[in-house]
Amino acid sequence: MMKPKGWRELTPGAVILEAGNAVEFKTGSWRAFRPVWREENCIQCLFCWLYCPDMAVIVRDGKRADFNYDYCKGCGICALECPGKKGNKAIIMQEEGK
Ligand code: SF4
Ligand code: SF4
């Protein structure tokens, strides 16, 4: 497995010099809030997968599975867009470390 790069190894301005190298940067450590999935409220609409700018929602066999916390930056877009079941969100944002 490839060792993740620390911030001191980033290029100046975090400029991407090689195509497809985003996988090397585990951006999950930037997160202040973490999305938490409440499966019981999930209607499998896949809006979270569609809207996530970091492709951090895992879909397996056509169904939403969990988050890839290595790359989720905690932006909260998935929680905002999630319709949930009968108004009960299937994604809530929780402060990291709580
Ligand atoms: S919080 Fe943002 S980055 Fe993380 S899974 Fe949701 S939309 Fe993607
Ligand atoms: S947006 Fe919400 S309800 Fe839709 S698949 Fe994602 S978690 Fe489930």
SS3 for 29? helix
Is the pLDDT score of 91 beyond 70? Answer: yes
pTM of the entire predicted model: 0.81
In a mutational test of the pocket of ligand 1, which residue from 59, 77, 93 has the highest number of ligand atoms less than 8 Å from its CB? Answer: 77
Decide whether any atom of ligand 2 lies within 6 Å of the 79 Cβ: no
Question: What pLDDT does residue 16 have?
Answer: 74
Decide whether any atom of ligand 1 lies within 6 Å of the 73 Cβ: yes
Distance 85 CA to ligand 2 centre (A): 9
Is the pLDDT score of 2 beyond 80? Answer: no
Render pLDDT for 21-73 as a digit per residue (tens, 0 to 9).
Answer: 777 778 888 899 999 999 999 999 999 999 999 999 999 999 999 999 999 99
Render pLDDT for 19-32 as a digit per residue (tens, 0 to 9).
Answer: 777 777 788 888 99
In a mutational test of the pocket of ligand 1, which residue from 31, 33, 67, 94 has the highest number of ligand atoms less than 8 Å from its CB? Answer: 67
Q: Where in the chain are the domains?
A: 23-93
Question: What pLDDT does residue 27 have?
Answer: 84
Per CATH, the number for 23-93 is 3.30.70.20
Measured CA to CA, the distance from residue 49 to residue 53 in angstroms comes to 9
Q: What is the separation of C-alpha 24 from the centre of its chain, rounded to a whole number of angstroms?
A: 15
Question: What pLDDT does residue 4 have?
Answer: 65
Residue that the structure tokens 């930037």 belong to: 30
